[in-house]
């Protein structure tokens, strides 16, 4: 019976040193070649609507969409799992409650989003449900009238 050739320690050590870094070098080349032919698995951006961008705290997309004419008050579907485990239809301001910070809400307000009393009530109740403390504080600070009773406010989630 023919015996298998013994593994040389040097060969094994060399492979151990070389394997992972060499893979990275190959990956570098593949990335560049892929980019040339339009294949970018590590740098692609999904198409988002304004509500989805608000839910993701993506102010770059919000700025771009509003500049190209998108309505900052229009309701739009937010796909799962961006906000919830199912699709949901909300305004950008309502979606922004999901970020748990008022940054995107303020950003939308300076770019044409309107927060009337109904919208404020919905946002407040969503923030209460999510225990989004920063947003509750922000809405309370900006409030001119008492906050709504959330038992009587229909919310998208």
Partner 1 sequence: MSRPPGSHVITWTRATYLCAMAFAAGVAYFLIRMPYQISDDLEHMLIAQSQSAWDILVTRYATVESMRPAMWLTQNAVFELAPGGRYFATFKAVHVAELTATFLLFVRLLRVRTAVDFIALPLALVVLVGMHTFSVTIREGYPVNHFLTVLLCCMVVANLADLRPHWSHDVAAVLTCAYALFTIETGIIVWVCLVTAHAARWRGISAKGVIAATAIVLAYLVVRFAVLDVGTRTLGVTSSGYGFSVRNTGELAALFGAAPWKFYIYNVISAALTVLFSEPRAGVFQFTQFVLRGDVPAWSLVNVVVSTMATVLIAVNLIPRLRRWRQWTFERDDVLLVMFVAVLGANSAISYPYLKEVVMSPAGMFYAIALYIAVRDLLDRMRPQTSAAALWVAVPLFVLSTGWSLRAVTLAQTLRSSAFVNRNDWAAAEERQDEVRPQWRQRHRDAERLVRQLRDEVVHTPVPQPYTTPRWTRTWVDPY
Positions that interact with partner 1 (CB under 8 A): 6-10, 12-29, 31-32, 35, 42-46, 48, 56-64, 67, 81-82, 107, 110
Contact 155, 125 (CB under 8 A): yes
* Nearer CB in complex with partner 1: 100/153: 100
Q: How far is the CB of 89 from partner 1 (least distance, A)?
A: 19
Q: How far is the CB of 110 from partner 1 (least distance, A)?
A: 7
Q: How far is the CB of 16 from partner 1 (least distance, A)?
A: 4
* Nearer CB in complex with partner 1: 68/144: 68
* Nearer CB in complex with partner 1: 43/69: 43
Q: How far is the CB of 152 from partner 1 (least distance, A)?
A: 33
* Nearer CB in complex with partner 1: 33/143: 33
* Nearer CB in complex with partner 1: 15/117: 15
Q: How far is the CB of 116 from partner 1 (least distance, A)?
A: 24
b (16+ CB within 10 A) / e for 17-32: eeeeeeeeeeeeeeee
Question: Chain centroid to CA 143: how far?
Answer: 28
Dihedral sign computed on CA atoms, order 114, 120, 122, 125: positive
């Amino acid at each position: 019976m023919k015996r298998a050739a013994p593994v040389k320690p040097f060969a094994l050590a060399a492979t151990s040193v070389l394997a992972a870094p060499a893979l990275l070098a190959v990956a570098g080349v593949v990335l560049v070649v892929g980019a040339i032919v339009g294949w970018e698995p590590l740098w692609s951006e999904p198409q988002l609507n304004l509500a989805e961008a608000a839910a993701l705290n993506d102010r770059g997309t919000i700025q771009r969409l509003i500049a190209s004419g998108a309505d900052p008050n229009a309701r739009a579907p937010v796909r799962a799992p961006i906000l919830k485990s199912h699709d949901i239809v909300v305004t950008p301001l309502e979606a922004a409650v999901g970020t748990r910070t008022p940054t995107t809400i303020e950003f939308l307000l300076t770019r044409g989003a309107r927060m009337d009393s109904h919208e404020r009530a919905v946002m407040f109740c969503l923030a209460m449900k999510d225990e989004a403390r920063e947003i509750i504080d922000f809405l309370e600070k900006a409030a001119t009238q008492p906050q709504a009773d959330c038992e009587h406010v229909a919310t998208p989630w």
